[in-house]
Chains A and B, each alone.
Chain A
Amino acid sequence: MTDQPLVPDTKAAPSRLRRALDSDLFYAFRRSPVAMISSAVAVGLILMAVFAPFFAVTNPFDPASLNLMNGFTPPMEPNAFTGETFFMGTDDQGRDVYSTILYGMRISLFVGFSAVLFAVVLGIILGLLAGYYGGWADSFIMRAADVQLTFPAILVAMLIFGIAKGITPVEHRDQMAIWVLILAIGLSDWVQFARVVRGATLVEKNKDYVSAARLIGRGSSLIMIRHILPNILSPVLVIATISLALAIIAEATLSFLGVGAPPTQPSLGTLIRVGQGYLFSGEWWILFFPACTLLALALSVNLLGDWLRDALNPRLK
């Protein structure tokens, strides 16, 4: 076919990293102190949670490392019996609060990320179908979404949690608790993604590049995934970031109410629930440090999401 030797591209395309560092988004990032500080806090906390065994002093899940005599040690004070000192004190069972927070954050983050991922995937699929096909599919999906929106998300999550717990056998309950949490929070959160995706799809599907793909003969699912989806992802990413903060809080709320992570695998919410019992008897640190960690985590992720929304909106520049 080619009647002349093909000249190879001499000028290689700039590397992905180079392009990312050169992008307008990174430029906006470097000029926003809020974005830099909150991302530093968020990334720092996430890294500490992921590599908890390296940062933690003890493993709070290992009963062998616990000493009940260490119980209720105030922060930075030597224990009256053992003489050991704990940076953030210990809880009722003598667990190091600092280490427990790291391991608890692991569970909180895992549940938060997984729940948001689940909600995003579900929301994108249903939103794309509703927006692209319209008609009956649209009415059905969006009415279901409307109905769900009339209940508070936490109530929906509790309902799903309750049903799921009822149908799992007793011996698996503690193991399944985390997965049930993810399912419950994810299912209570898909609606906002579906709405945004549907709206963006309605705009994109009438653009000529979609017509061009249809003219070529591309099938509906391929057009939705390859053509429309990449063009509607940025608002989804923004909501996902803000949702992450909300999902972490939702998990904490459920655990605080006692329907979330079991005390044997405590998340931040479980720690706060345990800690609040001791708040007025003087052992404030058991509640205070987990609560501060939750605040820092949720706030930094939320601020990052807010900043991302503004930075990606050209109208606010």
Chain B
Amino acid sequence: MTEPVLSIRDLTVEIPTRQGLFKPVRNVTYDIRPGEIRGVVGESGAGKSMTGNAVIGLLDAPAKVASGEIWLKGRRIDNLNAEEKRAIRGKEIGMIFQDPLTSLNPLFTIGEQLVETIQLHLKVSASEARDRALALLERVSIPDPVTRFNQYPHQFSGGMRQRVVIALALCSEPSVIVADEPTTALDVSIQAQVLDLIKELASETQVGVILVTHDMGVIADTTEQVTVMYAGQVVESGSTDQVLSAPTHAYTKSLIAAVPRPQVKLHRFPQVSYGNRETTFKIEDLARNWEQTAPSKSGKLLQVQGVTKKFIEKPAILPSRRRYFTAVDNVSFDIKDGEVFGLVGESGSGKSTVARMIGTLLPTDGGAIQFDGDDITTMEPKALAEYRKQIQMIFQDPFSSLNPRMKVESIVAEPLIHHKLLPPDQISARVRELLDRVGLTREAAAKYPHEFSGGQRQRISIARALATQPRFLICDEPTSALDVSIQAQILNILKDLQEHLGLTMLFISHDLPVVRQMCDRVGVMKQGKLVELQETEALFANPQQEYTAELLDLMPRLAQLSG
């Protein structure tokens, strides 16, 4: 076996806080060999990024390496001074960050940034640096590098930008690259390409890669070695095949089990049981008090007919001079009573815009949306208020969907107060009851949202959505901001709601395995158009459109877990 290029030995990072010494990384040990990709996986807050930052010497004060050693090619680097660390950073250790939008300087062309970096690290002439930069752009498969060389970052798509960032990391021919969630901000289709590129480069240039991710699919597809971290500690480490097929630690086992399978339809999402205090969702209690509404007249609760939405791209006073961007183009679908309808597509495909139009948050520019036979786009304010009582929405980002300055009690009570559903003296009791039913304590009512974790916040959102006893629930990527372990809990709650309360749902997601588990029928959107609509099973087994087939193909799979 070859010598490791980078060794981390017993690394502990400390942050002094008001509450005492906090250790986000404790006794972490792992090696990276040349040409090897080591995945570091774990939920947010597990210390995986913090370890990466310690390696590149970019720990934010007051965090500091308290003990342990980091060796790079036989040289100890954790105790170097700031100047020596700076010399190593970028030169010996390259970096790829999560967001390609912010890791490139928007004021310089791609070429300038590459040339500057090359000249900083390698003593070469300007023309030589330019040749190298062009070769690098070619190397990371950017088409037409000569033209692209003089363009600015905003003229590149997200995936292209991330390629440029990779080229920047490769500039100085580093021996190690730290890639911190390099594909999390990208669409699935682009994610696969970028990961392939990293794989290729690693084997070709013999650079060692630390790939920090929370996605087990990425681990399975890309890495050879994997380190599983939990609460700052390494719980398991070894070759990817071995860890995925025969995990020894309970946390790894439950983490793998919680990954939604694209191949099989399960009744419930398996939960990550390790370390999570199981919070119970009392669906029976909720169902007992739920007032069942009559089924819709036609059996179809929601009918979207030829809906179109245009956004003004270039404003002008004269209507004829305005230019528009069509975000949603003539989309039609029906959602039956009690059905979960999935809407999938890449970012920018218009799926969230459809959801916002159904939720009356955006006006439509044509077409009709009929709820139980009544067109909501032409409704009188009074009827609209009645409609709003019957629909609710769960948003993607649990951190922005709850007003940080309002107590949980006021947040959940707001729909009750607005629609005057209960006399004021009963509202407080009702709110506490709702919080109890979604698995939070009654004391939660007196707290502010920032005192809760992402999963708990999403439960608060669900409690707010259930307050009016709606018939229809819009879920806009309800779990994409959550860890796998918490994702399973929230999805199970939504499944329960659908089964026990007969709620009809529109479920929007870019995560195909999740859609397969959740939805009865699925619509696929591309550039504002609905390109395919099928029963879930049929869609996954036999996609009719080439685009759908491509999307399905790109799903990260845990090959080791099939069956």
- Chain A residues at the B interface, C-beta cutoff of 8 Å: 1-3, 6-7, 9, 11, 13, 24, 27, 207-209, 211-218, 226-227, 230-231
Contact = CB atoms under 8 A, between A and B. Distances in A.
B289 A212 contact: no
A216 B464 CA distance: 10
B400 to A, nearest CB: 4
B73 interface: no
Nearest to A209: B403
A208 B395 contact: yes
A13 to B, nearest CB: 4
Given A208-B401, A211-B361, A13 B289 contact: no
B430 interface: yes
B361 A214 contact: yes
A3 B397 contact: no
Nearest to B426: A1
Contact of A216 (B18, B400, B401, B415): B415
7 contacts: A6-B433, A208-B400, A211-B393, A213-B414, A215-B360, A216-B414, A218-B414
Interface stretch (B80-88, B93-101, B194-202, B384-392): B384-392
A209 B406 CA distance: 11
B418 interface: yes
- Pick the most buried of A3, A27, A208, A218: most chain B CB atoms within 10 A of its CB: A208
A215 B393 contact: yes
A2 B433 contact: yes
Contacts of A3: 285, 288-289
A208 B397 contact: yes
Contacts of A2: 429-430, 433
A208 B285 CA distance: 29
A211 B414 contact: no
A231 B388 contact: no
Interface string B369-411: 0000000000000001100110111011100111111100000
Contact of A209 (B285, B391, B401, B426): B401
A227 B418 CA distance: 14
Nearest to A135: B315
Interface string B254-294: 00000000000000000000000000000001001100000
Given A215-B392, A227-B406, 18 more contacts: A1-B422, A1-B426, A6-B433, A9-B446, A13-B447, A207-B401, A211-B361, A211-B393, A211-B401, A215-B359, A215-B361, A215-B388, A215-B391, A217-B384, A217-B385, A218-B414, A218-B418, A230-B403
B121 interface: no
Contacts of B445: 9
B443 interface: yes
A15 B392 CA distance: 34
A231 B388 CA distance: 25
Nearest to A14: B446
A6 B429 contact: yes
A142 to B, nearest CB: 16
B15 to A, nearest CB: 12
B442 A9 contact: yes
Nearest to A207: B400
Contact of A212 (B18, B285, B395, B404): B395
Given A11-B443, A212-B464, A227 B361 contact: no
Nearest to A214: B361
B419 interface: yes
Contacts of B384: 217
Contacts of B360: 214-215
Nearest to A229: B405
Contacts of A27: 18
B432 interface: yes
A262 B74 CA distance: 81
B426 A208 contact: no
Q: Nearest 3 A-B pairs (CB), nearest first?
A: A208-B401, A230-B405, A208-B395
Interface string B422-441: 10001001101100000000
Contacts of A1: 289, 422, 426, 429-430, 433
A217 B415 CA distance: 8
Nearest to A206: B400
B18 A208 contact: no
Given A11-B443, A208-B397, A217-B385, A227 B403 contact: yes
Interface string B459-500: 001001000000000000000000000000000000000000
A217 B418 contact: yes
Given A1-B430, A227-B403, A217 B419 contact: yes
Contacts of B419: 216-217
A112 B393 CA distance: 46
